Amino acid sequence: MLALKICDMAMGSGGFLVQVVRYLAERLVEAWALYAGQQTADDEIWSVVNGLPSDEDRLIYARRLVPSAASMA
């Protein structure tokens, strides 16, 4: 999911991209909940996610990961 590339051709206010980050972060938190406890390729992310005390903290962390992954493309 973090490998997706999103393009906002209009490049207006940035509202579209902000909503994309929110949407993808929510889906990422759902995926973490679905696959909790399973081995993945990125153990560093799982160790951070498992150490976060609440779903809100996981959502904030996911919102930080989504643009980071996009900027690495």
Q: Where do the domains of the chain lie?
A: 22-71
Torsional sign, CA 6, 58, 49, 68: positive
The pair of structure tokens assigned to 1 is 């999911």
Instruction: Give pLDDT tens digits for 7-60.
Output: 777 777 778 888 888 999 999 899 888 887 776 666 778 788 888 888 899 999
CA-nearest of 61, 71, 70, 1 to 35 is 1
- The CA dihedral of 10, 4, 46, 67, to the nearest 10 degrees, is -20
* Band of pLDDT at residue 73, cut at 50, 70 and 90: very low
Q: Identify the three-state secondary structure at position 40.
A: coil
Q: Which of 39, 37, 40, 31 is nearest to 59 (CA)?
A: 31
Question: What pLDDT sits at residue 59?
Answer: 92
